Amino acid sequence: MSASLSGRTVLVTGATSGIGYETARRLAERGATVLLHGRTPEEARAAADRLVSTAGTDGALLRPLAADFVRLEEVEGLAHAVVRDHPRLDVLVNNAAIAAPERHTLTADGNEIAFQVNFLAHYLLTNLLEPALTSEPGGRVVNVSSALHRSGAIQWNDPQRVRRYSRLAAYAQSQLALTVFAADPRVTAVSVHPGVCETGLLPLYGHEGAPASEGARHVVRLCDPATEIVNGAYYDRSERVAPAPAATEERTVKRLNRLAGLLVGHTA
């Protein structure tokens, strides 16, 4: 039996299915209070109910929360609710992700949809949660990234990919940005590729994947204060490996911060 995580509070974004759902289940199983984020209040509530009824999770440990990451104002609302109700947050798991659509799509905020949902929303959320994220040992941010970040490039002069769009390139760019963001010295953060799993993103990778619970195991390990982490480290499942070179360049980290701050209208 793994060590208890009782007394710890963890926010998991995109917790209504796939790796996020399994991560929430495993964390609650070990006694953590899980802020379970979904796109809508109904989806978040349904996921919490499903955990109680099918996984035997203690409902008292689950707090469903909602925000549609396609709208940055909802991300702000989510952050304010968390800071208000959970002034001490031990871990933030930035997991919510979508596969980029076939056709170039902009959100109401004017951002390419995968870049916003997979990266910008998490950038904004992480910055706004700074007052609640504990600076005590063990407090951390875990970005659920992807091995596909290696094939990505941040198009600095066209981050919205208006001129040339391909869904794979857009998805890879969003994952690279998330991985670079973990190296931001202002937060203690790591990123992890949980392996190719049976989730809604599987078509981007191929036809076969491990169960989502297997991917969640690698995420939960990094949430555990007993797992010592190095800021900006990147893990491929349980192994620490070097990320794409861009993710360790101080210049790229600063440049991405400037770009993201501009796009979300919040300079950190």
| Residues 10 and 33 sit within 8 Å (Cβ to Cβ) | yes
129, 126, 124: which is closest to 107 by C-alpha? 124
Residue carrying the six token digits 């208006």 = 162
How many other C-beta atoms lie within 10 A of the C-beta of residue 87?
Answer: 11
- DSSP conformation letters of 108-145: TTSSBHHHIIIIIHHHHHHHHTTTTB--STT-EEEEE-
Burial-class residue 68 by CB neighbours within 10 Å (0-12, 13-18, 19+): middle
| Residues known to be catalytic | 171
**Cβ atoms of residues 146 and 193 within 8 Å:** yes
Residue 56, phi-psi category: left (phi > 0), alpha (psi -120 to 50), beta (remainder): left
Angle, nearest 10°, between helix axes 18-29 and 212-223? 50
Report d(CA 12, CA 239) in Å as an integer: 22
Cα distances from 196 to residues 42, 147, 166, 207, in angstroms, run: 28, 9, 21, 10
Half-sphere exposure of 24 (CA within 13 A, CB side): 35
